[in-house]
Structure 1
């Protein structure tokens, strides 16, 4: 199986990951799954996930795809949060 290298743009502390996968489509699917999980982590930490992106390279070092926040969560599918209810009191 071919090897694919994943580089996580805008994340200075994330080291590249190399995986053996069946084909380019499997690499893209892997990147989309990782993106979805990373978005959850960013939201939990109250960080903006919209700038996240992952570049996928083949064994020769060529960029074969880029998966970003908007390719996983298209603009028309991102729901806006409801307006905050002023009668609800927040702790802290």
Structure 2
């Protein structure tokens, strides 16, 4: 299984999380689920998650997806804002 790196930027960077996922689609679904959970926890704690961002990189270090607050609160048909591979071919250090 490919390994993906999940980065959660919630006001300040959090430690990256590494997870084995079947493919890119599964990694994106997991990133959405985890980001929504963190966002809800933040709201409960009184934080403003509107600037929070989640990024997912593949095991080679390439950006798979960037999820922002609007991507997580938009209706499913309106959530075409996913910035999949915004920077194709750009290697990211891990």
Query: Is the shorter-chain TM-score for this pair beyond 0.5, marking a shared fold?
Result: yes
Q: What SS is found at the alignment partner of 2:12?
A: coil
TM-score (normalizing by structure 1): 0.75
**Residue deviations 1:12-42 (CA, integer Å, cap 9, x gap):** 3621000000010100000100111111111
- DSSP 3-state at the match of 1:50: helix
Structure 2: gaps (5+ residues):
79-94
Asked whether the 8 Å contact 1:54–1:66 carries over to 2, the reply is: yes
Runs of 4+ in 1 over 6 A off after TM superposition: none
Partner of 2:21: 21
Q: Hey, what does 1:83 align to over in structure 2?
A: none
The within-5 A match list for 1:12-91 is: 12=12, 14-74=14-74
Distance in 2 between residues matched to 1:74 and 1:51, nearest whole Å: 15
Q: Which structure has the larger Rg?
A: 1
Asked if residue 6 in structure 1 is aligned to residue 6 in structure 2, the reply is: yes
Q: Unaligned 5+ residue runs, structure 1?
A: 77-92
How far is 1:10 from its partner? 3.6
Number of residue pairs the alignment of both structures matches: 76
